[in-house]
Amino acid sequence: MRDELRAGSRQGRNSSALDRRPQLRQALEACRKHKATLLIAKLDRLARNVHFVTGLIESGVDFVAADAPHANKTMIQLFAVMAEWERDQISARTKAALAQARARGVVLGAAGAHNLARHREPPRTREAEAFAARLRGVFEGFELRGLSQRQMVAEPNGLGIKTPGGGSWRLKQVQRVMARISRP
């Protein structure tokens, strides 16, 4: 039973391609009826499946791909082979990218900017947020003492607290930490 399901799913994917594309089926029927040639814009947009393209060639309907107007049956089959290979490569890259996103903690399929926000902000921003959080109590103590931001510059330097880069504090750095800790 399992083998039948597997074979059926493979067959379904390939043989029902026309079932899933009623307009293409109608175009092929019209070409048969009027003995016309089917014009296709791009072969790889028609199908990225060698079996399907070969079936189309064998269907008895002549067709021309605008992106390869002088291609014969052999060339069309080669193009189909390359299109199928490209489809498989796209699939592999997509699966790898989704696996990497999952590993980073992205909830796949979840809508909204909040899902991706932590992955859009650069690591430096997260590090700065974490650094400010560690110093929250120190800077809140400076505020309770009534120190101005200019006076706060001297305090961490006097206490031996280094900036994230390991240097001395300046006014702009104090202002940035204060802005970060005042956010909800």
Give 77-125 pLDDT, tens digit per residue: 898 899 899 999 999 999 999 999 889 887 787 766 666 666 666 777 8
Residue 175 counted as domain residue: yes
Mean pLDDT, range 31-35, rounded to an integer:
92
> To 10 degrees, the CA torsion angle through 75, 76, 79, 84?
-140
Residue 145 counted as domain residue: yes
Strand partners, 68: 65
Q: What is the DSSP letter of 65?
A: E
Structural domain for 40, as ranges: 2-103
Residue 87 counted as domain residue: yes
Residues 155 and 91 in one domain: no
Placement of tokens 């079932």 in the chain: 19
Q: How far apart are CA 42 and CA 23, in angstroms?
A: 16
Q: What are phi and psi of 85, to 5 degrees?
A: -60, -45
Residues 88 and 53 in one domain: yes
Q: How far apart are CA 109 and CA 18, in angstroms?
A: 30
Residue 57 counted as domain residue: yes
Residues 129 and 44 in one domain: no
Residues 91 and 8 in one domain: yes
Q: Which two tokens stand for residue 82?
A: 């390359």
Residue 119, pLDDT score = 64
